[in-house]
Structure 1
């Protein structure tokens, strides 16, 4: 079910580990992501995790969360397929989500052209929509935000994310995104980012019903 049909295309991802690729499944474009470890644990195993019940594995939790978020009509991709493969005391996992046609992540967009105030506002409203439903994104960064050809904003990559009570973490989510934008400014050239653009995003986040700029 998960075997990629040629041709395949590697896609930019938030982690930078190159684990996502575009595949075709029954005539539909899917983004297939293989779960990999990061940090020091990757030195022990690149893509193996301690065995647990399949429904508690990373792929199945992300799959279930995406299904829930789509039922709430939030701007996230459609969960298509998930796989949990046991290997003795460990497991590996994959997930496939629907391709959002004509979309590029925010870093790719910033490399080619400066997003408009309306683009930043769309991103702010998308984040606010998730936060209004108490959706915590564990890695909200500039790679995990997309803009499509119609100017709509999307949020992707919900590994280790969850519905979480409280409000304090919401400001931390935004701060993480701002740090990501600033970090990419030191790594990517050209990069059409201006600190003033952040105000367009936060204004729309704080007042999502206001008329876009």
Structure 2
């Protein structure tokens, strides 16, 4: 994940907004960066990674990226599916997520490295996108537990890793079995930090865990091939608790 290069933060104004980017990845940026058609190779996918709406896998011949456009969910999406109320640059969904990713990446946590993010303002509304480096050869936890032989201590290690995020104060707004990604070495990664934040310790930690548990129960209830049980959840909780005992 190009950890040898220090992640930088540059903000550049555009005609209708701004772009925040890491200039060790992109030396120059423009709004075209967020258009899939401007890339050498681009592939649309709505299934392989978490998040709302479609994403694009991009390839410039050297590095691989993921481009995500911000879409609304719930009832409000029927009125405005990708526009947000303008409250200032630092409160845009894209800039907040980019900076949250930078914070977590600098803590050496397993997250995608942020590459660039933008917003385009139109009167009192804005639209936004974010680009991250693609995590090599990962699949959602939901797919992994349905298709793979689960290694020993997998759930324990997953709980330990989630605790590591919580220790740093990360509130993930949608911790589920799709936003946890598993690589070939069975290491877990966390993606999709839209509406995430850094918080003081509180009940939100248990709320995060409850959301993940509900996601796993729903998946296992709908697919008999899924390898998951209450015993696995207890293993996850054991790993979670052990992190804080040793922190």
Q: TM-score, normalised by structure 1?
A: 0.90
Q: 2:187 aligns with which of 130, 133, 152?
A: 152
| Aligned equivalent of 2:35 | 3
Tell me: CA distance 1:24–1:40, structure 2 relative to 1, closer, same or farther (3 Å).
Answer: same
| Counterpart-to-counterpart distance in 1, 2:42 and 2:106 | 32
3-state SS of the aligned residue for 1:100? coil
3-state SS of the aligned residue for 1:186? helix
8 Å contact kept, 2:67–2:130: yes
Residue deviations 1:48-95 (CA, integer Å, cap 9, x gap) = 111232221000000001101111111211111101011232111111
Question: Is the aligned partner of 1:14 residue 2:50?
Answer: yes
1:1-213 aligned within 5 A: 1-4=33-36, 5=39, 6-12=41-47, 13-15=49-51, 17-25=52-60, 27-188=62-223, 190-208=225-243
| Counterpart-to-counterpart distance in 2, 1:110 and 1:180 | 13
Q: TM-score, normalised by structure 2?
A: 0.78
Cα deviation, residue 118, structure 1: 2.5
| Counterpart-to-counterpart distance in 2, 1:125 and 1:97 | 25
- Segments of 5+ residues of structure 1 without an aligned counterpart are none
| Counterpart-to-counterpart distance in 1, 2:224 and 2:42 | 29
8 Å contact kept, 1:120–1:200: yes
Alpha-carbon RMSD across the aligned residues, in angstroms, is: 1.9
Q: Greater CA deviation, 85-94 or 37-46?
A: 85-94
Cα deviation, residue 209, structure 1: 8.6
8 Å contact kept, 2:44–2:56: yes
Residue deviations 1:78-120 (CA, integer Å, cap 9, x gap) = 1111010112321111111111111111011122124334322
8 Å contact kept, 2:45–2:56: yes
3-state SS of the aligned residue for 2:236? helix
* Residue correspondences, number: 209
8 Å contact kept, 1:117–1:197: no
| Counterpart-to-counterpart distance in 2, 1:104 and 1:64 | 25
